[in-house]
Amino acid sequence: MSIPPVAVGLNAVVMAAGEDAPQVLVVPRGKEEPALPFGPFDPARHRTFEIGLREWVSEQAHFQLGYVEQLYTFGDRGREAPLADLPSSDEARIISIGYLALTQEAADLPSGGGEWHSWYRFFPWEDWRAGKPAILDDQIEPALRRWIDEAETDGRRVARRDRARMTFGLDGRGWNEERCLDRYELLYSSGLIAEAARDRKEAQGMPTISRSLASDHRRIVATAISRLRGKIKYRPIVFELMPDVFTLSCLQQVVEGIVGFPLHKQNFRRALDRTGFVEGTGRMQAGTGGRPAELFRYRRDVLRDGQATGISIPRSR
């Protein structure tokens, strides 16, 4: 029993806070769809995946990674539309191990490297900070209802309806921001995502709904968003995205950008206070057209003893 060789690629979803929305690092590829920083895993050179990943990202995006965690390993045949410069045939299947990396600020990147783009260019339906996105009512929900009706049997119709209800919170159900990946997968299966048509080698279906990425990279980003939106609630992981000192409003804006909806300010602060994660520096930030806010810093040393310990997300409205 011998193991057929497989090519292993490493992908990084590098995220930063950004001015008014969280950003993801992509590498433009001329006329082709942009891609995530990507590189082969070379077992001879790299003792661990993480070491290999850091090397590739710094090489391709001229960028040093800080916080890194493994996301998921993708390997479905048919979903890995080949990147131009990599072989992808049946003999040498490519599987890609996706990583999530968080970085303190969207530092300017040297030319030739990556570019920062807002999450919500790729996932416009995920941004509820200014209320329900129009794209849902105007395009997605009608298309989903058509897709439900198109089902071949009654049983499948019910299954499709339940799935759409759950993931998109239809018919009065609530929107669960953590289901970002589920929503992407549903849009993919229902043909609303350009990549789906591309992978089936058909003419593009609805290319205008959102921006595509190379291969299955948008799926990997959706995985990263889901992970981050979940993890923020039980690990003090937001602080990996913050500068050394920050105002509480700024922190709240970053959290709102991540979860995709507005929070109740006073309750956010009360809960944050109880965690003990931040301490005031005594310094103030002036010049924002209002009462100056105190600058805070993250206390890395707060080794919380017991249980879950993240940021409370007191939804507003």
Partner DNA sequence: CTTATAAATGCTCACTTTGAGCATAAATGG
Partner DNA sequence: CCATTTATGCTCAAAGTGAGCATTTATAAG
Distance between CA atoms of 309 and 232, rounded to whole angstroms?
9
Distance between CA atoms of 155 and 157, rounded to whole angstroms?
5
User: Given candidates 248, 254, 259, 278, which one binds DNA under the rule CB under 7 A?
Assistant: 248
Beta strand segments in 113-261, E: 115-118, 245-247
By CB under 8 A, the residues from 171 to 230 that bind a second copy are 172-176
Residue 189 binds: one of a second copy, DNA, none (C-beta under 5 to 8 A by kind): none
- Here the tokens at position 210 are 């959102």
Q: Stretches 7-15, 62-70, 86-94, 269-277: which one binds DNA (CB under 7 A)?
A: 269-277
Q: Are 16 and 25 in contact (CB under 8 A)?
A: yes
* DSSP annotation of 305: -
DSSP string, 146-174: HHHHT-SSHHHHHHHHHHHHHHHT-TTPP
Residue 58 binds: one of a second copy, DNA, none (C-beta under 5 to 8 A by kind): none
The amino acid at 132 = K
User: Given candidates 30, 31, 78, 317, which one binds a second copy under the rule CB under 8 A?
Assistant: 78
Does residue 19 bind DNA (CB under 7 A)?
no
Residues 136-175 as x/- pattern, contact with DNA by CB under 7 A: ----------------------------------------
The amino acid at 9 = G
Does residue 204 bind DNA (CB under 7 A)?
no
Q: Stretches 49-57, 84-92, 122-130, 245-253: which one binds DNA (CB under 7 A)?
A: 245-253
Q: Are 98 and 220 in contact (CB under 8 A)?
A: yes
- Name the residues that contact a second copy, by CB under 8 A: 1-9, 39-44, 47-49, 70, 72-73, 75-78, 85-87, 90-95, 97, 162, 165-166, 169, 172-176, 303, 305-307
